[in-house]
Structure formats: structure tokens, C-alpha cells
Amino acid sequence: MFYGTRDTTCTLNPEFMANAYETPVEIDLADKSAEYTEKVKANELNPIVSVYESLLSLGTNSILEKTQKKYIRICNFIAINTFAASLVYLILAILWEKWYWFNSILALTITCVCVLFLNGFNKTSMSRLTYMLGINALVLLNALFIGPEAKGESFFIIAIIIPFLIYDIKEIGFIASGIIIPLVFIFAYAFVTPFFTAYNLGHEQQILLYRIGIVIQVLLSLGAVYQFVYYSKKAENDLDTSNQQMSLQTNELKRSNSDLEQFAYIISHDLKAPVRNISSFMNLLVNKHGAGLNPEAREFVEYSRSGAKRMERLIDDVLAYCRIGTNLSKPTPVNLNDVVNTIRFELHDKLTAAHGTVAINKELPVISNVHSSLMYHVFQNLITNGLKFNKTDAPEITVSWTNSLNYYTFSVRDNGIGISKEYSATIFQMFKRLHNESEYDGTGIGLAICKKIVEYYHGEIWFESEAGKGTTFHFTIRKF
Ligand code: ADP
């Protein structure tokens, strides 16, 4: 099998062999782990920081997306701080013996604990919803029990900002509900205030709570904004780092793939000459001294000759495989009818001998952005296989195609022996054969070549088959 232009001046890159089996580039994790160890050590020294860090991280392990982690952490941060603030109110409620107010604050404290618990159990969506609903309901109750002079309803402003801090802007449904709920509650507050006058705290207490409220609101807002900015920046940096790691790994993979192909190419190329020599000398031996050899010696020579021939074919096929995508000229429009007709012409003798036909179901398209030599090899391998793996009296091979927005899908159907479904993935691997050499000749590289060419054009290849009835190979070619 000949493929493109042969490069006969192939040289071995001295660094190549070393690179080919070098272990993949280690991403610089050493620095990161040192940084982490330092952090862990610092946290070990300070148990409060360590507990605080663990609480902040609740639920973040279950989330893979870095930006989502940021929202969960901010939700934890707000819940922890709301909890701390509610403790101040709880103490005051006990000191002043205001039990209705105490109950509403206790409910707020429990809500914060629930939020952290839910995140701890990875119920991150439910926890954020709980916080959003809980905080609104309890701000309302708190404001009603304390009394109008404390202006507890101003906490609704924070309640409106919170959804923007704990949800991604794309989660528009949650953000909208997070705005609508406090707005509705502000109206509700205006209407129900008179019914709670009897339970209100004293004037002095309300004024004190008004001042405490302002301090808490300022601290909570500043803290939440700081967390938001800090984690946004961190998520951005993390994303940059993982993008860099990914591109490093991709480059490394590309390099090692191309090195391996280069390796296979060089080995095959260098093997060709000695194998050809063996083949030629075996031929000479048979031609010049064949008559003098006894039958057993002739048989042995025949085996060696066919072995050398097979090796030549294998080498040619491996070289063909390695050459896919190299030394290609600019793609030009290719009339696939011409390609299939050429193959039909080349197979004329075989088709006549086997009473076989190769039909084109519907005139094939002229496609651009491909190379006729590569398209030739795909169709040639599939059509030849359809003819080869066929035990019928009249092998029939049909080429058809369909058109979609981004892809052409081509199909090559035969009425041959069929392929079991279990080989749907492995059949395209190099050297994979389902039959031995004596049954059907071949190298087991044809379908691997088809797959590599199809993937070169960003397509896919697969087959459908029924044992004894035939096989249809389908492959797609991307249009641009
Ligand atoms: P080769 O034809 O050189 O053996 P291929 O890579 O073309 O190698 O095919 C791999 C194996 O897949 C073949 O050995 C054969 O067992 C099976 N095969 C391929 N095409 C067909 C087909 N149309 N019908 C039945 N079996 C097939």
C-alpha cells in the first residue's frame, strides 16, 4: 500500500529516543503541596481558624466546578456570621426576658445551623434555599417583635443582596425569587406591624438594637463582599492554573503521540530494506536453484518467502498508518464518485471472478476540505473488506450517503459474513483481526487507517452488522 510521497532521507533525531519514553511532564505540584502543608500547619496551631475553615468548606468537596464552590463558601460564611450575630440577640433576649422575641431569634439560630448541616451533607441547593427563605421570614418576625424604632426591616436590604452572593448570575430563577421574597415581606411588614405593638420591646431597648443592627449590617455586608471578591479572584486563579495544566498535558500527549508515530515510522522504514533483501534472495534461490532443492527444502523456502511478503505488507501498512496527515497538499474539492469508480476499476478482475458488484446508491457529493488520497483509502479499505469477508455467490457492496448540517455520513454496506457487536470498539484497533491468515489474508491495519483518516476530518466511524447477513460501515466527515 503506497501512501503520499515517500521520504527516503529519514534521519533519527538524537533527542527523539530519549523523549519518546520519557515520563510525562510533572505539573509543578510540589509548590502547591508545600503551600497546602503550611496552611494545614497554621490551622493545626490555631484550632479556631481550623474549625472556621472547615465550616467554610462544608459542601464544597461535592462540587467540582470552582465557581460553584465560591457560592457555597459564601453561603457558609453568611450562615456562620448570622449565627454569631443571632447569639448576641439571644443573650439580650434572655437578659431582657423577652420570650417571643427570643423564640424568633432562636429560630434564626437554628436555621443557620441547618444551613451548615445541609451543606455538610452536600445538599447545597437546599441549604441555600433554606437560608434565603429562613432569613426573610425571621427578619420579618424579628422586626415585628422588636418594634419600629429599631428599624429591623432594614435587614431586608441585605436579604435582597444575598442571592447575588450565593447564586451564580445564571441561576436567574433563584436570584429573582431572592429579590421578590424580601420585597413582598417589606409590604407584609407594613401591614402587620400594628398587630405586634403589644409585644414590642421598650424604647431604650429598640434604640440600642437599632445601633447594634447598623454595626451588624455593616460588618456582614463588608465581610460578604470581601468573601465574594476573594473567592472570585481565587476561582479565577484556580481556573487559570487548571487551564495551564490541561494545555501542558495536551501538549505532552501530542508530543508523545507524534514521537511514537515517528518511532514506528523510522522502525518500519529501516526494516523495509532488509525484508526486501530477504524476499529478493529467496526469489533468486527459487529461480536459480529451485530445481536442485528437495520438496521439503522447497516447502521451507516457500514459507520463508510468504513470511517475508507478509512482513513487507505489514511494514507498508504501518508506514501508511503513520503517514496519515503528513506531507499533505492543500485540500481540494474531491468528487467521491471518481474515487469509488477508480476503486471499482482497480477491483474489476476480483469482482468479475467473484461475481460481485460495487454500486453507488445515490450520486456521491463533491466535498471540499478533504484529500482524495485519504478518501480513496477509506473507501478502498471498506469496499475491499466487503468483498473479502464475503462467502456469498454474488457479493454486493453498496455505497450511500446522507447530508446533515455539519456532517456528511457515508455508508458502505455488504452482504458478507458480518461482525459480532462485541467488536464494535476493538475492531478499529491496529492489528485487530477476527480471522486467521489462512482464512482471510490481511494485516489488521485497514480499519485502523480508516479510523485515523476519519478522525483527521473530525468524524467518527462505526458499524452495524448481522451475522451471516452483512455489515454496514458508517463514517462521518465534518463539512468545515
Ligand atoms: P484486514 O482486512 O487486513 O484483516 P482490517 O483492519 O481491514 O484488517 O479489518 C480487521 C478485521 O475486521 C478483519 O480481519 C475482519 O475480521 C473484520 N472485518 C473488517 N471488515 C469486515 C467486513 N466487512 N465484514 C466482516 N468482517 C470484517
Question: Which of these ranges, 59-68, 109-118, 232-241, 440-449, has the smallest mean pLDDT?
Answer: 59-68
Grid coordinates belonging to 89: 440577640
321 lines ligand 1 (CB under 6 A): no
- Is 478:459 a contact under the CB 8 Å cutoff? yes
Identify the pLDDT of residue 315.
84
Q: How far is CA 78 from CA 86, 154, 159, 227, in A?
A: 12, 17, 11, 9
427 lines ligand 1 (CB under 6 A): yes
In angstroms, the CA 437 to CA 273 distance is 24
Neighbours of 144 (CB within 10 A): 23
389 lines ligand 1 (CB under 6 A): yes
The residue assigned the cell 452482504 is 415
Q: Report how far ligand 1's centroid is from the alpha carbon of 433 (Å).
A: 6
Amino acid, res. 300 = F
Identify the pLDDT of residue 29.
41
Most confident range, picked from 1-5, 9-13, 318-322: 318-322
Q: Which residue owns the Cα nearest ligand 1 atom 7?
A: 446
| CA-449 nearest atom, ligand 1 | 6
Q: Is the pLDDT of residue 158 over 70?
A: yes
When comparing pLDDT for 44 and 399, which is higher?
Answer: 399
Question: Which of these ranges, 67-76, 295-304, 346-355, has the smallest mean pLDDT?
Answer: 67-76
The residue assigned the cell 472556621 is 52
Identify the pLDDT of residue 22.
40
130 lines ligand 1 (CB under 6 A): no
Identify the pLDDT of residue 5.
34
Q: pLDDT over 90 for what percent of the chain?
A: 37
Q: Report how far ligand 1's centroid is from the alpha carbon of 388 (Å).
A: 8
386 lines ligand 1 (CB under 6 A): yes
Q: Is the pLDDT of residue 36 over 70?
A: no
469 lines ligand 1 (CB under 6 A): no
Most confident range, picked from 6-15, 252-261, 281-290, 458-467: 458-467
Identify the pLDDT of residue 286.
87
Q: Report how far ligand 1's centroid is from the alpha carbon of 472 (Å).
A: 12
Q: Report how far ligand 1's centroid is from the alpha carbon of 452 (Å).
A: 16
Q: pLDDT over 70 for what percent of the chain?
A: 89
**Mean per-residue pLDDT, 175-200:** 89
Q: Is the pLDDT of residue 31 over 70?
A: no
Q: Is the pLDDT of residue 35 over 80?
A: no
Count CA within 13 A, CB hemisphere, residue 130.
Answer: 23
Q: Report how far ligand 1's centroid is from the alpha carbon of 340 (Å).
A: 19
Identify the pLDDT of residue 8.
36
Identify the pLDDT of residue 273.
85
Q: Which residue owns the Cα nearest ligand 1 atom 16?
A: 434
pLDDT tens column, 262-315? 777 787 778 888 888 898 898 898 889 888 888 888 889 888 988 888 888 888
Closest CA to 403 of 457, 461, 358, 364: 364
Looking at 3.30.70.2740, 3.40.50.10860, 3.90.1150.10, 3.30.565.10, the CATH number of the domain 334-478 comes to: 3.30.565.10
Which of 447, 454, 471 is the best mutation target for the ligand 1 pocket, counting ligand atoms within 8 Å of the beta carbon and taking the most? 447
pLDDT tens column, 117-154? 998 888 888 999 999 888 888 889 989 999 888 888 88
Q: Which residue owns the Cα nearest ligand 1 atom 9?
A: 444
In angstroms, the CA 25 to CA 255 distance is 11
419 lines ligand 1 (CB under 6 A): yes
Most confident range, picked from 23-27, 42-46, 300-304, 384-388: 384-388
1 lines ligand 1 (CB under 6 A): no
pTM: 0.55
In angstroms, the CA 142 to CA 137 distance is 9
First and final CA of the chain: distance in angstroms? 29
When the pLDDT of each residue in the chain is averaged and rounded to a whole number, the result is 85
Confidence of residue 66 (pLDDT cuts 50, 70, 90): low
The 3-class secondary structure across the chain, one letter per residue, is CCCCCCCCCCCCCHHHHHHHCCCCCCCCHHHHHHHHHHHHHHHHHCHHHHHHHHHHCCCCCCCCCHHHHHHHHHHHHHHHHHHHHHHHHHHHHHHHCCHHHHHHHHHHHHHHHHHHHHHHCCCHHHHHHHHHHHHHHHHHHHHHHHCHHHCHHHHHHHHHHHHHHHCCCCCHHHHHHHHHHHHHHHHHHHHHHHHHHHHCCCHHHHHHHHHHHHHHHHHHHHHHHHHHHHHHHHHHHHHHHHHHHHHHHHHHHHHHHHHHHHHHHHHHHHHHHHHHHHHHHHHHHHHHHHHHCCHHHHHHHHHHHHHHHHHHHHHHHHHHHHHCCCCCCCCEEEEHHHHHHHHHHHCHHHHHHHCCEEEECCCCCEEEEECHHHHHHHHHHHHHHHHHCCCCCCCEEEEEEEECCCEEEEEEEECCCCCCHHHCCHHHCCCCCCCCCCCCCCCCCHHHHHHHHHHHCCCCEEEEEECCCEEEEEEEEECC
Closest CA to 240 of 66, 69, 70: 66
Closest CA to 460 of 414, 421, 425: 425
416 lines ligand 1 (CB under 6 A): yes
Q: Which residue owns the Cα nearest ligand 1 atom 21?
A: 385
When comparing pLDDT for 422 and 29, which is higher?
Answer: 422
Confidence of residue 408 (pLDDT cuts 50, 70, 90): very high
Amino acid, res. 40 = V
Question: Which of these ranges, 244-248, 323-327, 378-382, 471-475, has the smallest mean pLDDT?
Answer: 323-327
Confidence of residue 382 (pLDDT cuts 50, 70, 90): very high
Q: Which residue owns the Cα nearest ligand 1 atom 14?
A: 433
Q: Report how far ligand 1's centroid is from the alpha carbon of 458 (Å).
A: 23
Q: Report how far ligand 1's centroid is from the alpha carbon of 347 (Å).
A: 17
Which of 358, 427, 438, 439 is the best mutation target for the ligand 1 pocket, counting ligand atoms within 8 Å of the beta carbon and taking the most? 427
For β-strands 366-370 and 332-335, DSSP reports them as antiparallel
Identify the pLDDT of residue 366.
95
Which of 1, 389, 421, 440 is the best mutation target for the ligand 1 pocket, counting ligand atoms within 8 Å of the beta carbon and taking the most? 389
- Is 360:340 a contact under the CB 8 Å cutoff? yes
Identify the pLDDT of residue 7.
38
Q: Report how far ligand 1's centroid is from the alpha carbon of 444 (Å).
A: 7
Identify the pLDDT of residue 364.
95
Which of 317, 434, 440 is the best mutation target for the ligand 1 pocket, counting ligand atoms within 8 Å of the beta carbon and taking the most? 434
Confidence of residue 62 (pLDDT cuts 50, 70, 90): low
Burial bucket for residue 193 (CB in 10 Å: 0-12, 13-18, 19+)? middle
381 lines ligand 1 (CB under 6 A): yes
470 lines ligand 1 (CB under 6 A): no
**Mean per-residue pLDDT, 210-215:** 90
**Is residue 250 left, alpha or beta, with left meaning phi > 0 and alpha meaning psi from -120 to 50?**
alpha
| CA-435 nearest atom, ligand 1 | 16
Domain ranges of the chain: 52-247, 250-322, 334-478
Closest CA to 479 of 465, 462, 456, 458: 458
Q: How far is CA 280 from CA 1, 205, 310, in A?
A: 19, 109, 14
435 lines ligand 1 (CB under 6 A): yes
Identify the pLDDT of residue 221.
82
- Is 204:150 a contact under the CB 8 Å cutoff? no
Q: Is the pLDDT of residue 437 over 80?
A: no
When comparing pLDDT for 228 and 241, which is higher?
Answer: 241
Identify the pLDDT of residue 411.
97
Identify the pLDDT of residue 73.
87
6 lines ligand 1 (CB under 6 A): no
- Is 318:445 a contact under the CB 8 Å cutoff? yes
The residue assigned the cell 520463508 is 304
